[in-house]
Amino acid sequence: MEPTEHRSSAIGPSLDQNALDSLQFNEEIQHLMTLPPENANSFTALLELPAPQAVELLHHHHHRRSPESNGSTAKLVTAKADGHGLHHPHATPHHFNPGANLTFPSDISLIERAVRFSVFAGINNSDNNHNDNNNNNHKVSSKIDKNNNNNNCSPETTGSVPSNSSGNLGKVKNEPAESDSDNNNPNSPQPLDIKTENQNQKSAKRKEREKKGKAATKKSKSGANDSSEDAEKLPYVHVRARRGQATDSHSLAERARREKINARMKLLQELVPGCNKTRQSSYVGVLAGLKCLGDNCSGFIVQSSVTEFGIHRGWDDESVLCAAADTSMASNMKSYVLQISGTALVLDEIINHVQSLQRQVEFLSMRLAAVNPRIDFNLDSLFVAESGSLIDSSFPGMVMPVMWPELQAHGNRQQYQQQWHHFDGHHQPLLGGAEESHNFVTPENSLLSYDSSANSGREELIPHQKEGGKNKKKLIILSDSR
Amino acid sequence: MRAPSSLKQEFLRKWILGLQICSSSAKSMSISERKKAIKLSADIAMASARNGRTSWSRALIASASKDDNHGKLFVQQILGSDCERLTKISTSIKRLRCKKILKKSSGTIIRRRMKRIPDKAVASSIAKQMVNKRTQILKSLVPGGVFMDEVSLIEETLDYILSLRAQIDVMRSLADATEMMMNC
């Protein structure tokens, strides 16, 4: 690789994984917000590509600096298709941008680290790189709605974020989009299109999309391969328009930019392992890089596109939130986002609580199932002592002696009575109802009324339950008088 | 907040009815089946303790009565005479709401182009989506939640949480007691 001037890529402290994984909005956002001042440029930390290719990609972009472009172009690192390889390795080597960081982390942890530093080099021109990227027929599994991507060239440079096409049409739509995006712009600096679409996505759809595979970028077919070589060193990109496409310079430029951005996005998507599975930490890293797009006036457009991108790809909300808050350098935006998400936090709490309760029910039923075969759950032999305060205090101790007689002998009524008397003084346990208790219950406890019919010690209750309407067992639970 | 003891008592009452069914077939079942049966009986008992006043309880009973395994048995046993009345109510409500949901979901994806996105709009859109996502999750947790609108979902959730707590308390007491007996 050619030596280039290295940009300072601020590599912050490695991310605390837990911090990322937890719903700590403030923390993350603050972390992320400290990054912008560092203003690191290189995005390479997010690249896991084989070094040369990734470098080429990046630097190809970097090289294309044009005087006019103010806004940051979307230097999204797009995934390189493995099978196709980069068609422009030859093109790129010599214009590595100064300052490009050539280090490539090889595992995902560095992506997390990327959160800590603003990596994404928002360099201006992305035009000719699209040529290179376009040449690769990447597997287009993204859900970009390409039709929407043919936006007007907006004056702001924005990150072209592949937005989610409706539901499952991602691949289908990418095909026509691909043919669309084949052209490269002839002129160097053109603002990127905003591929942001505001879509109302339901979480179910998001999950679908997650599973659907890679994101984003549409790759054009091999169109401007030759032009890319020319484009390397020149300030202008010669783009060959495909048949049937508008040759207007603006649209070509748009298309080129889009393609470049999409290529970057796809590259990025491939870099992040399991990106479809939405590991929050990974995405935060990605988003941290993406946030570099939004340096200027296009900042919030970029961030909206970023958030759309994130949401449509099923990124965790927190990641999206951090990205959005991050890309907007405004503090009021941050606070606004944090305020609004209070509802989300509350809902989170509720969800966690319900889930934990349900889990407890499962566990307890498992416990009972384990015990069950050895315990006769016949109502007449089951004593359950319960009352409000009884449960807290000495319930086990109290219940055990109460239930003990049941197990020993069903016919042991004498023992019953003694036990029962014994406990009468202290507690008034709930009678789970043996019939034999009937005898001493009524005289003993005015509080206890146990209506049991047709209950003898061991009868199976189901068939008997239905006899003659007498089978209602009503347990009246005594409340502890303490 | 402690669950009211009346609720617990009611639940216990009905649960024991269901447990009797379990015990009759206890020998033949594996432990997981038993666990499921116990849990199911507990759920139905808890739902019936609500007497059909809450939507989640009706939904629970409705789904249980459609279940092949033991659900119907439990429902019949525990609810007794109310059984038919409550299950009818539940199923009819569900059917209506299913239609609503079908209608809603048919044409809902609206794509808007954001040419100019002010900060607040982005923030609110993000927040809305977060809230929506969590609402969906909550709807999947609460029985019958998918049919509810968000306002009633929250109410149902609160009631459901209370019922769950009561159920857990009772079950834990019973489990402790039985285990203690077993150990002695």
Q: Specify the pLDDT at position A226.
A: 46
Residues 254-293 of chain A with CB under 8 A from chain B are none
Inter-chain CB proximity B132 and A202 less than 8 Å: yes
User: b/e string for B144-174 if b means 16 or more Cβ within 10 A?
Assistant: bbebbeeeebbebbebbbbbbbbbbbbbbbb
Please give, rounded to a whole number of angstroms, the shortest distance from the CA of B173 to a CA of chain A.
Answer: 7
**In this model, does residue B57 exceed pLDDT 60?**
yes
Residue of B nearest to A369 (CA): B35
pLDDT range class, residue A368, cuts 50, 70, 90:
confident
pLDDT tens for A320-338 read: 555 655 555 456 665 655 5
Inter-chain CB proximity B24 and A461 less than 8 Å: yes
Angle, to 10 degrees, between the axis of helix A413-426 and the axis of helix A437-444? 30
* Structural tokens at position A109: 């942890």
Inter-chain CB proximity B131 and A347 less than 8 Å: yes
Note the maximum CA span of chain B: 74
Alpha-carbon radius of gyration of chain B? 20
pLDDT tens for A378-392 read: 443 445 444 443 444
Q: Does the structure's ipTM exceed the value 0.90? A: no
What is the pLDDT averaged over residues A31-48? 48
Q: Specify the pLDDT at position A356.
A: 92
Higher pLDDT, B133 or B73: B133
User: b/e string for A86-114 if b means 16 or more Cβ within 10 A?
Assistant: bbbeebbbebbbebbbbbbbeebebbbbb
Between A163-172, A232-241, A449-458, the lowest mean confidence (pLDDT) is in A449-458
Please give, rounded to a whole number of angstroms, the shortest distance from the CA of B70 to a CA of chain A.
Answer: 13
A324: contact with B, CB 8 A cutoff: yes
pLDDT range class, residue B35, cuts 50, 70, 90:
confident
Mean pLDDT of chain B: 73
Mutate to test the interface with A, among B48, B126, B169 (most CBs of A within 10 A): B126
pLDDT range class, residue B29, cuts 50, 70, 90:
low
Across the interface, of B38, B117, B119, the residue whose CB is closest to A368 is: B38
Distance between start and end Cα atoms, chain A: 83
Torsion of CA B157, B161, B163, B164, to 10 degrees: 130
**In this model, does residue B11 exceed pLDDT 50?**
yes
A103 CB-near residues (< 8 Å, 6+ apart): A9, A44, A45
Q: Specify the pLDDT at position A342.
A: 76
Between A102-106, A112-116, B178-182, the lowest mean confidence (pLDDT) is in A102-106
What is the pLDDT averaged over residues B137-165? 85
Mutate to test the interface with A, among B119, B153, B171, B179 (most CBs of A within 10 A): B119
Q: Specify the pLDDT at position A311.
A: 52
Q: Which of B115, B129, B126 is nearest to A333 (CA)?
A: B126
CB B43 within 8 A of CB B64: yes
Query: In which residue are the tokens 């391969």 written?
Result: A225
Higher pLDDT, B95 or A250: A250
Mean pLDDT of chain A: 49
pLDDT tens for A274-320 read: 444 433 443 343 344 334 433 443 444 444 455 455 555 555 655 65
pLDDT range class, residue A468, cuts 50, 70, 90:
very low
Residue A362: count of CB within 10 angstroms of its CB: 13
**In this model, does residue A265 exceed pLDDT 80?**
no
Residue of A nearest to B126 (CA): A321
**In this model, does residue A175 exceed pLDDT 60?**
no
Q: Specify the pLDDT at position B145.
A: 81
Instruction: Report strand pairing: A197-199 vs A474-475.
Output: unpaired
Q: Which of A19, A37, A40 is nearest to A28 (CA)?
A: A19
* Structural tokens at position B7: 């609720």
pLDDT range class, residue A257, cuts 50, 70, 90:
confident
Range ranked top by mean pLDDT from A125-129, A397-401, B114-118: B114-118
**In this model, does residue A180 exceed pLDDT 80?**
no
**In this model, does residue A194 exceed pLDDT 50?**
no
What is the pLDDT averaged over residues A189-202? 41
Distance CA A78, CA A43 (A): 11
Please give, rounded to a whole number of angstroms, the shortest distance from the CA of A230 to a CA of chain B.
Answer: 33
> Which residue type occupies A133?
N
* Structural tokens at position B1: 């907040």
Residues 97-156 of chain B with CB under 8 A from chain A are 108-127, 129-138, 141-142
Q: How far is CA A226 from the centre of its chain?
A: 40
pLDDT tens for B59-76 read: 888 787 777 666 677 777
Q: How wide is the angle at C-alpha A200 spanned by C-alphas A115 and A114, nearest 5°?
A: 5
* Structural tokens at position B104: 């809603």
Within A372-392, residue ranges assigned H as helices are: 388-392
> Which residue type occupies A327?
T
DSSP string across B129-160 = HHHHHHHHHHHHHSTTGGGS-HHHHHHHHHHH
